[in-house]
Amino acid sequence: MREAKRKRLVSKGWKIGSAKDFLGLSPEESAFIEMKLELAESLRTHRERQNLTQVELAKLVKSSQSRVAKMEAGDPTVSMDLLVRSLLALGASKRKVVKIISPAKRSSAT
């Protein structure tokens, strides 16, 4: 439980995009967390853009407000599966989901 807690704190303490600097994590681990954080952030963006509340999104994906909050907060108890499913439920295309976790899009190319 200590480990999970740490990861959560870590992911909340650092800004998205600097996940590479997480100390003590292997490159794969950071890459994975980075992806999840990007999905999380994007989920919030998508939801807000559609003027939905967490409660409404929860209903849409047959979950609960608290879990939606945790998804958006990058809580480590949330799986990538759930994040991706939710994004798809919000109407994001597969292509879009892909873009979300794609590396820093400075310009256009991917």
Partner DNA sequence: GGAATATATGTCAGAATGGACATAGACGCA
Partner DNA sequence: TGCGTCTATGTCCATTCTGACATATATTCC
Residue 42's Cβ-count burial label (10 Å; 0-12, 13-18, 19+) is: buried
Determine the interface stretch with DNA among 14-22, 69-77, 91-99, 101-109 (rule: CB under 7 A). Answer: 69-77
Tell me: does residue 4 bind a second copy (CB under 8 A).
no
Task: Tell me the one-letter amino acid at 66.
Answer: S
Within 17-93, where are the H helices?
Answer: 27-49, 54-60, 65-73, 80-89
Instruction: State the minimum distance, in angstroms, from the CB of residue 69 to DNA.
Output: 4
Binding-site partner at residue 25 among a second copy, DNA, none, CB < 5 to 8 Å by type? none
Closest CA to 47 of 84, 76, 87, 12: 87
Distance from C-alpha of 35 to C-alpha of 39, rounded to nearest angstrom: 6
Q: Which residues bind a second copy (CB under 8 A)?
A: 27-28, 31-32, 34-35, 79-81, 84-85, 88-89, 93-95, 97-98, 101-103, 110
Q: Which residues bind DNA (CB under 7 A)?
A: 4, 48, 53-55, 58, 61-67, 69-70, 72-73, 76-79, 81-82
